[in-house]
A and B are shown apart, each in its own frame.
Chain A
């Protein structure tokens, strides 16, 4: 049970959503945008968050669309992880999100909620970080397409009332050779020791990881693509270069162990990309 009261709004348009947000905020109350609600409900139940109203964005067509339009894939922020995986529209993203939480919850978690949430892993962001993706947001009552990294550096940076509407991914990235690895401590369903998404373009390999730091981050592309030195040395150099990003021991595993796992995962990645 959630121990406090709040109002529920389900707008049908972006305008209604932002208007109601503004109206509630003007009265000094706290509204929150509501995607799948899995984090909002969990945290409200334990008393870790409090708010006065939820604005459920799942009836707004722009937020629930999933389509390819001209040269890009458009994923509405309220599209569920299950829908993304089942659609097969972007295999790397599909594989990544089908390892988040468990299959049933994937039918409720939205891509926007995973990326905007407070949990440090935000695994759905990994494929977006390595594909020059853009995000459509509502800012000052207007829609803006901005590079994903303008609002996301591992944490999402939006002002109060701003809403992610869509993620936009260039079609050229959708079917490139890719590698996704998620390592957990014991069970298959768990938070990651390490989750990595990587792709290989004509310009080389790009990779992003979650589970090592207090937020997802990019691995140094320059080192990964130093093709004149052996892969084993590139692995060691990569690990040396990211030492400051790796947080020390987590309950789930020590720093040394997570680095050991990364070493194996990078070796496997180079192996997978051979000949690709």
Chain B
């Protein structure tokens, strides 16, 4: 049984690397990524599960890191926006005007990247279902949808 009751050193797998980090059981994954590992691409927004700015991938699926304890991530593979490393979806966001201020962008990129991997043949219904997890206050969402479609249709 995995057990710890105070600040402890644990191993996390982040962006393909095993990292050693000191965490408290009450720390969220969002906090540890930003404050302990310096991966500030993952953004804090509502910290309540509503906005999606904090989305990362856990074993390939999008997860809101504000609603996950870092301790839960032990034994799983985490990918943050820093781990995308010029994935096609990033280029597509640039080419399709998928962002303005950019605050929501890392969260959207993670959702879209996972969608491409999990449902490469996603139709409009599925695309919308996945994108509805994230909020953007600048774009009209249409540009983001265009960016995903370009990647799904291998136009990038």
Query: Across the interface, do B72 and A37 meet the contact criterion of CB distance under 8 Å?
Result: yes
Query: Chain B 67-95 against A: per-residue CB contact (8 Å), 1 yes, 0 no?
Result: 11101101000000000000000000000
Binds A, one of B57-65, B137-145, B148-156: B57-65
Q: Report, as a range, how many residues of chain A touch the other chain.
A: 35 or more
Q: Which residues of B sit under 8 angstroms from A53, Cβ to Cβ?
A: 5
Query: Is B55 an interface residue, CB under 8 A from the partner?
Result: yes
User: Which residues of chain B in 31-67 are interfacial with respect to chain A, using CB atoms and an 8 Å cutoff?
Assistant: 31, 47-49, 52, 55, 61-64, 66-67
Query: Across the interface, do B129 and A7 meet the contact criterion of CB distance under 8 Å?
Result: no
Query: Is B4 an interface residue, CB under 8 A from the partner?
Result: yes
Query: Is B103 an interface residue, CB under 8 A from the partner?
Result: no
Whole-angstrom distance from the CB of B47 to the nearest CB of chain A?
A: 7
Query: Is A67 an interface residue, CB under 8 A from the partner?
Result: no
Binds B, one of A99-107, A201-209, A238-246: A99-107
Selected from B2, B5, B25, B62, the residue in CB contact (under 8 A) with A104 is B62
Query: Chain A 22-66 against B: per-residue CB contact (8 Å), 1 yes, 0 no?
Result: 000000000000001110011011000000011010110000000
Whole-angstrom distance from the CB of B24 to the nearest CB of chain A?
A: 7
Whole-angstrom distance from the CB of B135 to the nearest CB of chain A?
A: 10
Query: Across the interface, do A37 and B68 meet the contact criterion of CB distance under 8 Å?
Result: yes
Query: Across the interface, do B1 and A11 meet the contact criterion of CB distance under 8 Å?
Result: yes
Selected from B2, B25, B72, B133, the residue in CB contact (under 8 A) with A102 is B133
A251 to B25 alpha-carbon distance, docked (Å): 36
Query: Across the interface, do A45 and B47 meet the contact criterion of CB distance under 8 Å?
Result: yes
A44 to B48 alpha-carbon distance, docked (Å): 11
A130 to B31 alpha-carbon distance, docked (Å): 42
- Closest 4 pairs between A and B when the two form their complex, measured CB to CB: A7-B5, A104-B133, A8-B25, A10-B2
Residues of A participating in the B interface, judged by any CB pair closer than 8 Å? 1-2, 4-12, 16, 20, 36-38, 41-42, 44-45, 53-54, 56, 58-59, 82, 98, 101-105, 107-108, 188-189
**Given A7-B25, A8-B2, A8-B4, 10 more pairs with CB closer than 8 A:** A1-B28, A6-B26, A45-B48, A54-B69, A102-B132, A102-B133, A103-B129, A104-B130, A105-B133, A188-B132
